[in-house]
Amino acid sequence: MKNGKNRYRIKAGAKANLYLEITGKREDGFHNLYSLFIPIQWYDTLDFSLLKEGKTRFSSSDPCISENNTVSKAIEKLYPYRKNQTELQIHLIKNVPYMAGLGSASSDAASTLSFLNDFWECGLPREKLEEIGLEIGSDTPFFFYEKPCVIRGRGEIIEPIHNHGKFFFLIVKPKNIHISTQEAYQLISEKKAYTNQESLQKKMLASFINGNSIDFADSLFNGFESFLIEKYFFFKDLKKYFKQSGALNSVLSGSGSSFTGVYKDLEDLEKGLFFFKQKNIKNIFDFKISFL
């Protein structure tokens, strides 16, 4: 966190799903998941500055972000707990693509909750912040951990994972494709395409923990991917690009539309990024490299 006179700046990082199964629908209308979330080095920025008058308010660099946004929800939910009555102007500098399966809105909420809990002297434990965050979005609790985690339930069961060895990723987001989470889950629900591949889960998790990038890449899975590829044919081309770039494998993140490619080492990752840039398709894709 960078501090200035009457101003604070923090980063809100995104996530990628390297494994995702939708195991069934719950009585509350949500779905149960089994997923591996990893933090990635792609960040929004949140600026907090002191207000001399008026109530705490939100603004954004992106005019498309609605008034009913996750940061505003976080403000509203922590307001009753505050002991420090100082009001703030909160400005979001939006860098991470949304409707991309990268969880940036949930990360913005978690970062806001964490900052305001300290600044407003709310004194809430992390467990309470997770509970509040879950009310804002199912991915929000993960962002209080800042490390790889296995996620179960609708997002409330979180198991931090320590991986040995290095992993190298390239995240690619098609600029002209935006997929709502509701749309993706509706496809799964209509087809009742629920899975729970326990043997593949074990292989994926063991290879991730042991740092075996080849076996891990072979275990990548996303339950949305095959259905969304049928609807968005360009995804087939994108997976071909990843293969041509030297990626061991690639997988849809969350409900899309970004994909993550896994590479054997840093040299292969740099070659992969160069491949995409040489195709001169920066007007079609956003790119970001990430490491674990």
- CATH number of the domain within which 124 lies: 3.30.230.10
Do 180 and 215 touch, CB atoms closer than 8 A? no
Q: Looking at the predicted structure, is the pLDDT value of residue 281 above 80? A: no
Residue owning tokens 């991986």: 163
Residue 125 and residue 223 share a domain:
no
Tell me the pLDDT of the chain averaged across its residues: 94
pLDDT tens digit sequence for 56-81: 999 999 998 988 999 999 999 999 99
The CATH number of residue 183's host domain is 3.30.70.890
Residue 183: what pLDDT? 86
**Is the bond into 213 cis (omega within 30 degrees of 0)?**
no
Helix ranges, 120-164 (H): 126-136
Residue 52 and residue 97 share a domain:
yes
Q: Judge whether 139 counts as a catalytic residue.
A: yes
Residue 185 and residue 135 share a domain:
no
Report, as an integer, the average pLDDT of 233-238. 92
DSSP 85: -
Integer Cα distance of 216 and 38 in angstroms: 14
Report, as an integer, the average pLDDT of 182-203. 93
Q: Looking at the predicted structure, is the pLDDT value of residue 2 above 70? A: no
Q: Looking at the predicted structure, is the pLDDT value of residue 218 above 90? A: yes
Helix ranges, 69-174 (H): 70-78, 104-119, 126-136
Structure tokens at 41: 């080095």
Residue 129 and residue 56 share a domain:
yes
For the beta carbon of residue 59, count every other beta carbon within 10 angstroms.
Answer: 12
Among residues 139, 173, 268, 288, which one is catalytic?
139
Which residue type sits at 37?
Answer: F
Integer Cα distance of 42 and 165 in angstroms: 21
Its domain, for residue 186, covers: 168-291
Q: Looking at the predicted structure, is the pLDDT value of residue 39 above 80? A: yes
Residue 191 and residue 131 share a domain:
no
Integer Cα distance of 155 and 177 in angstroms: 25
Residue 188 and residue 73 share a domain:
no
Q: Which of 128, 160, 192 is the last residue of a domain?
A: 160
pLDDT-derived band at 280, boundaries 50, 70, 90: low
pLDDT tens digit sequence for 165-183: 899 999 999 988 889 888 8
pLDDT-derived band at 14, boundaries 50, 70, 90: very high
Q: What percent of the chain has pLDDT over 90?
A: 84
- 73 to each of 57, 132, 205, how far by Cα in Å? 11, 10, 34
Integer Cα distance of 262 and 218 in angstroms: 10
DSSP 67: S
Residue 284: what pLDDT? 83
pTM of the model: 0.95
Residue 62: what pLDDT? 95
Residue 79 and residue 11 share a domain:
yes
Residue 203: what pLDDT? 98
Query: How many helical (H) and strand (E) elements, i.e. helices and strands, does the chain have?
Result: 9, 12
Integer Cα distance of 133 and 74 in angstroms: 8
Residue 4: what pLDDT? 65
Residue 153 and residue 203 share a domain:
no
239: left (phi over 0), alpha (psi -120 to 50) or beta: alpha
Nearest to 74 by CA among 26, 32, 29, 12: 12
Residue 195 and residue 120 share a domain:
no
Residue owning tokens 């008026």: 54
Residue 123 and residue 199 share a domain:
no
pLDDT tens digit sequence for 125-173: 999 999 999 999 999 999 999 999 999 999 999 999 999 989 999 999 9
DSSP string computed for 12-58: EEEEEEEEEEEEEE-TTS-EEEEEEEEEEEEEEEEEEEE-SSS--EE
Q: Which of 160, 195, 218 is the last residue of a domain?
A: 160
Q: Judge whether 231 counts as a catalytic residue.
A: no
Report, as an integer, the average pLDDT of 191-198. 95
Residue 147 and residue 29 share a domain:
yes
The least confident of 86-90, 105-109, 163-167 is 163-167
Q: Which of 160, 176, 196 is the last residue of a domain?
A: 160
Residue 194 and residue 155 share a domain:
no
Angle of CA points 277, 281, 285, to nearest 5° = 95
Q: How many domains does the chain divide into?
A: 2
Strands 221-222 and 7-25: parallel
Residue 162: what pLDDT? 94
| Phi, psi (deg, nearest 5) at residue 102 | -105, -5
Structure tokens at 230: 């049928």
